């Protein structure tokens, strides 16, 4: 694909750019990037994709990739875009992280111009199509597409190649307590195990049952049976919802959009959630308080 063809393609709408397969487009860009298109960029001038839906990176897998890079180098260039401060990764964050572990000074890159909306859709659809996301990350990615790009569930299902029912079910996982979502993220529970718990409205009970599932190594069928047998008067007791100040809620939403993470704001404190050290550094970088 020539540079002229690239610009023509990228000048069209999102769906025209990506078609039905984002990974095919990215592979086409990377495989077609000859030596003239590639540039070596200082690894410290590159930042993670702010729209990256994937928050969990397997340390063992990164170490293996790092060892391979030390021995053979990076075969496939990263795709990046110029930002106000260096470059942002569009595709290739695992390679970038592994290259940092390998202590490389520079990495091969292909620079493209993408808007925030295009970059977000590329990041989300690429990870979904490569099946790199855990169910909670996938649900958050779907929610971002709906919130920030005004996707309906019908359009979402079409773009990610899933049924509307599948999308609706995985989005409901975000209604689970954060403590239970973390158990799914850490692969202690599967999506099938926690779905029956959505019938319950008592957060403490949901978490207790989640721990019981792990301790007793319960099957999905056993979980479904347990939830059905619970006393509805105990299982469906809703906690009294605290009153939410609309102005604080607005501030909370602004911060979540800016930082791409969960934020809680009340009259006395602001709580910013992060997943690991790398995610914390990403947030600090956005806030401009880390070099």
DSSP the chain: --HHHHHHHHTS-HHHHHTT-HHHHHHHHHHT--TTT-EEEEGGGEE--TT-------HHHHHHHHHHHHHH--SS-EEEEE-SSSEEEEE-HHHHHHHHHTT-SEEEEEE----HHHHHHHHHHHHHHTT-S-HHHHHHHHHHHHHHS---HHHHHHHHT--HHHHHHHHHGGGS-HHHHHHHHTTSS-HHHHGGGGG---HHHHHHHHHHHHHTT--HHHHHHHHHHS-HHHHT-PPPPPP--HHHHHHHHHHHHHHTS-EEE-SS-EEE--SSHHHHHHHHHHHT---
Q: Which is catalytic among the residues 5, 15, 71, 93?
A: 93
Q: Measuring CA to CA, which residue among 148, 167, 156, 171 is closest to residue 125?
A: 156
Question: Token match 């791409």: residue?
Answer: 260
User: Would residue 64 show up in a list of annotated catalytic residues for this protein?
Assistant: no
Do 145 and 159 form a contact (C-beta atoms < 8 A)? yes
Phi, psi angles (nearest 5°) of residue 99: -65, -35
Cα dihedral value 282, 113, 122, 38, nearest 10: -90
The set of catalytic residues is 93
């Amino acid at each position: 694909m020539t540079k002229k063809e690239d610009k023509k393609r990228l000048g069209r709408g999102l769906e025209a750019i990506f078609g039905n397969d984002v990974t095919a487009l990215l592979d086409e860009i990377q495989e077609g990037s000859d030596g003239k298109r590639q540039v070596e960029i200082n690894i410290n001038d590159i930042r993670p994709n702010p729209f990256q839906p994937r928050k969990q990176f397997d340390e063992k897998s990164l170490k293996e990739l790092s060892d391979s890079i030390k021995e053979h180098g990076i075969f496939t260039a990263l795709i990046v875009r110029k930002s106000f401060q260096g470059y942002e990764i569009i595709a290739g964050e695992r390679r970038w992280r592994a290259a940092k572990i390998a202590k490389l000074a520079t990495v091969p890159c292909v620079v493209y111009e993408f808007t925030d909306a295009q970059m977000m859709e590329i990041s989300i659809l690429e990870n979904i199509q490569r099946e790199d996301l855990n169910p909670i990350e996938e649900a958050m990615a779907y929610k971002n597409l709906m919130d920030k790009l005004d996707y309906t569930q019908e359009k979402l299902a079409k773009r990610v190649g899933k049924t509307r029912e599948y999308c609706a079910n995985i989005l409901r996982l975000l209604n689970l307590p954060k403590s239970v979502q973390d158990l799914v993220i850490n692969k202690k529970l599967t999506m099938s195990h926690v779905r029956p718990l959505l019938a319950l409205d008592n957060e403490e009970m949901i978490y207790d049952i989640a721990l019981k599932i792990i301790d007793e190594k319960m099957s999905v069928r056993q979980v479904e049976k347990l939830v059905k047998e619970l006393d509805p008067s105990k299982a469906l007791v809703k906690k009294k919802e605290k009153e939410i100040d609309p102005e604080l809620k607005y501030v909370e939403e602004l911060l979540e959009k800016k930082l791409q993470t969960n934020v809680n704001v009340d009259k006395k404190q602001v709580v910013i959630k992060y997943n690991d050290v790398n995610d914390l550094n990403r947030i600090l970088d956005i806030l401009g308080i880390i070099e």
